[in-house]
Structure 1
Amino acid sequence: MNELMRFETADGGHVVVEVSTQDPGIQRASRAGGMVEVRQRFEDALTDVRDAAISALAVFRDGRLKPDSVEMEFGVRLNAEAGAVIAKTSAEGHIVVKLGWNSESAENESH
């Protein structure tokens, strides 16, 4: 069964998210209009995912591979108690990393 969860934003707005009641950590702060009111702000919920992205990006920009571009994709799930978490695909966390080199920089590296 799914349920609606409402996060307050820093500017006083709201973000409504659909979650499964089967998810662990659903902590009902209060219920208003059929929605779970979450104690944590939306921006605060995303902080851990941002920190994970910063750490992962640092690994690929450490000077060893020297890519021209780094693209990262995180599957994110929102949870009333834990905030935002990196979602799993089947059994593992979901992070996709794409590194790119343009042909000019690749040629310069080989010489």
Structure 2
Amino acid sequence: MSALFSFHLDQGGSVVVELPEPPGVSRASSWKERVVEDTRLSFEKALANVRDAASAALAQFQEMSRRPDEVELKFGVKLDAKAGAVIAQTGLEGQFEVTLRWQATPDDTATTGLGPRAPGERG
């Protein structure tokens, strides 16, 4: 069973999110009688910790000796009425996927004697 929770938006309004009810909580109402509960959290504040985690991860990749041209971070975000937003887990481990991309530069071609690689080509 799930419940509806309202996360307020800092600029006004709100967003309603369907979340699973905590274990041991049972409601006698039907889905037609569901009430939207106030979380006392703003949506932005709920996502702030996840944003900070993404920023910290990005900073680590930007400190590499050869910075990637592109960094793609993917992770699932789970909303919780009390904890806000958390990085969702898959199985027993947290879900976090990182993709780094480098584009060949003229300097790379000159030092290796090879041209740019096609996507998926190994050198």
State if a TM-score over 0.5 links the two structures: yes
Q: Deviations over 1:48-73 (max 9, x none)?
A: 00110111001111033421100001
Structure 1 counterpart of 2:21? 21
- TM-score, scaled to structure 2: 0.74
How many angstroms does 1:45 deviate by?
A: 0.5
Moved more, 10-19 or 98-107: 98-107
Structure 1 counterpart of 2:62? 61
How many angstroms does 1:91 deviate by?
A: 1.2
- TM-score, scaled to structure 1: 0.81
Matched letter for residue 80 of structure 2: N
Structure 1 counterpart of 2:26? none
Pair 101,2 (structure 1): closer, same or farther in 2 beyond 3 Å: same
Structure 1 counterpart of 2:9? 9
Find out whether 1:72 has 2:73 as its counterpart.
yes
Where relative contact order (Cα < 8 A, 6+ residues apart) is larger, the structure is 1
Question: 2: distance between equivalents of 1:105 and 1:39?
Answer: 54
In structure 2, stretches of 5+ residues that fail to align are: 24-33, 113-123
Structure exhibiting the larger radius of gyration computed from Cα positions:
2
Q: After TM superposition, where is structure 1 displaced by more than 4 Å over at least 4 residues in a row?
A: 108-111
Find out whether 1:36 has 2:33 as its counterpart.
no
Structure 2 counterpart of 1:88? 89
How many angstroms does 1:109 deviate by?
A: 9.2
Structure 2 counterpart of 1:48? 49
Q: Deviations over 1:22-49 (max 9, x none)?
A: 46xxxxxxxxx61111101110001100
Q: What is the root-mean-square deviation of aligned Cα atoms in Å?
A: 2.1
